[in-house]
Amino acid sequence: MAPEAPVTATLPAPIYGAWMMHTEGRMPRRKSYEAKIDFLQILDENGKLDARLAKDTLTDEQVVASYEQMWICREYDETAFKLQRSGRMGTYPQNKGQEAAAIGSALAMKKGADWLVPCYRENAALFMHGLPMHYILLHWMGDERGNQVPEGVNQTPISIPIGTHMLHATGIAWAMKLRGDEDSAVITYFGDGATSEGDFHGAMNFASTLQVPCVFMCQNNQWAISVPRSEQMRSPTVAQKAIAYEMPTIQVDGNDIFAVYKAVKDARDRAVDGGGPSFIEAVTYRLGDHTTADDARRYRDQAELDSWLEKDPIIRIRKYLESKDLWSEKDQKKLGERAKKIVAEVVKTAEGIEDPTTDDIFNYTFAGLCDELETQRETLRTNSLGQFPEQAGLRGRAERV
């Protein structure tokens, strides 16, 4: 059979012209993705509260207690600074100026069920979730027992390497999901500089892909040691980095305890309901030096520091409490005295701890010791000759000497 003739058609001139434009590369453009970053503030630097946004957040009692905790932690911070300057402690990073981010987030997480994976400027949050206050001092005094988080306190030790602990947070959250924990989540804290590290992106990608119950809390204090945020990244916000991982993200006033609480509470609720991870950028400021080994006057303008001193979370929350007749000078005096007494007792405990033994190297590293490790602990030797010197007649020689 002869092949059938091909079917042909002639397009009208206007349609044909449009079709030719399309095939010549003039294709219609469309948006493949669009996003926005919301900013949340509920309590401004003058202590003025947006009652509508504050609904179902913090009670008056919680705000008073939070202010007291802020003041105690500020006293703790100043005392730690003096301990370092007097040679009684090693390098110390002050938390001054970032207390609202720590306390607001700690209030939103569930003590005993959730895990905190900190950096090193979240002292207040760690204390609120059960860490004895002298442990932080022990850490910076070089005593390894400061990293031995007590049983039942759901925290990892503070992390000095920048960004590495976020991977641990993702792993803990993944374990929660695999076990089917229904009312548990993880929050991990880090600075703006950590988001320039590869470990941050690895943690974010795994958390998003596996949809784990983890809250990523960036304390954007504007400085990565001496490098300003504007010089370490081109993005106008840190929060937008989460968009690449299809992760719910928000920017909040990090010196506003109400805004921090609400953002973290929403993120935790979403996590335990199976909604996966969230990212929060808490815009705050490091009022002190990076650590006591740093001098921020060499790279930071005094005018910038002065402008942020006016936004101090302690001053802000006190203005709010006074405006509601929930705080007075009498209350302040009593709090000041109590804070000094508490911190003095903490310092006494840290400095009065008994000397460690070499057994700690083993007892706090392994859950249980096999025979070989038992021998190593007793002899402090890892080779057979060191453990059993009689093999070469060394024991008798040592005794004669």
The boundaries of the domain holding residue 389 are 360-400
Residue 213 lies in a domain: yes
The verdict on 374 and 338 lying in the same domain is no
Catalytic residue at 286? yes
pLDDT value, residue 372: 87
Catalytic: which of 139, 290, 316, 318? 290
User: Angle at which helices 165-179 and 198-210 pack, to 10 degrees?
Assistant: 10
Do 169 and 120 share a structural domain? yes
pLDDT in tens, 345-358: 999 999 999 998 98
Same domain, 276 and 382: no
pTM of the model: 0.87
**Tokens standing for 226?**
């001496």
Please give the average per-residue pLDDT across 376-392, as a whole number. Answer: 74
Query: Would you say residue 296 lies in a domain?
Result: yes
Question: Are 231 and 368 part of one and the same domain?
Answer: no
CA distances from 223 to 201, 226, 238, 290 (A): 19, 6, 13, 8
Residue 331 CA, chain-centre distance (Å), reads: 31
* pLDDT at residue 131 tops 90: yes
Structure tokens at 88: 């009684």
Our answer to whether residue 290 is catalytic in this structure is yes
Same domain, 103 and 156: yes
First to last CA, the chain: 113
Q: Are residues 310 and 394 in the same domain?
A: no
What Rg, from alpha-carbon coordinates, does the chain have?
A: 28
Packing angle, helices 99-108 and 60-85, rounded to 10: 130
- C-alpha span between 20 and 291 (Å, rounded): 66
Q: Please tell me whether residues 396 and 303 are part of one structural domain.
A: no
Active-site residue, 85 included? no
Active-site residue (options: 26, 297, 299, 397) = 299
Contact between 287 and 305 under an 8 Å Cβ cutoff? The reply is yes
CATH of the domain at 274: 3.40.50.970
Residue 386 has a pLDDT of 63
Distance between CA atoms of residues 271 and 211, nearest Å: 9
Report yes or no: 200 and 237 within 8 Å, Cβ to Cβ. Answer: no
Q: What's the confidence (pLDDT) of residue 384? A: 66
Separation between Cα atoms, residue 144 and residue 361, nearest integer Å: 9
Cβ proximity of 203 and 165 under 8 Å: no
Residue 32 lies in a domain: no
Q: Give whole-number Cα distances, 288 to 82, 167, 278, in Å.
A: 13, 28, 29
Q: Which of 286, 316, 318, 320 is catalytic?
A: 286
pLDDT average, residue stretch 142-160: 95
- CA 133 from chain center: how many Å? 18
Q: Is the pLDDT of residue 15 over 60?
A: no
Return the minimum-mean-pLDDT range out of 21-25, 73-77, 225-229, 287-291.
21-25
Same domain for 347 and 367: no
The separation between CA 62 and the C-alpha centre of its own chain, rounded to angstroms, equals: 22
* 12 exposure class (CB count in 10 Å sphere: 0-12, 13-18, 19+): exposed
DSSP letter (8 states) at residue 382: -
Is there a domain that residue 29 lies in?
A: no
**pLDDT for 170-227, tens place per residue?**
999 999 999 999 999 999 999 999 999 999 999 999 999 999 999 999 999 999 999 9
| DSSP per-residue codes, 34-58 | -----EE-SB-TTS-B-HHHHTTS-
Count of the separate structural domains present in the chain: 2
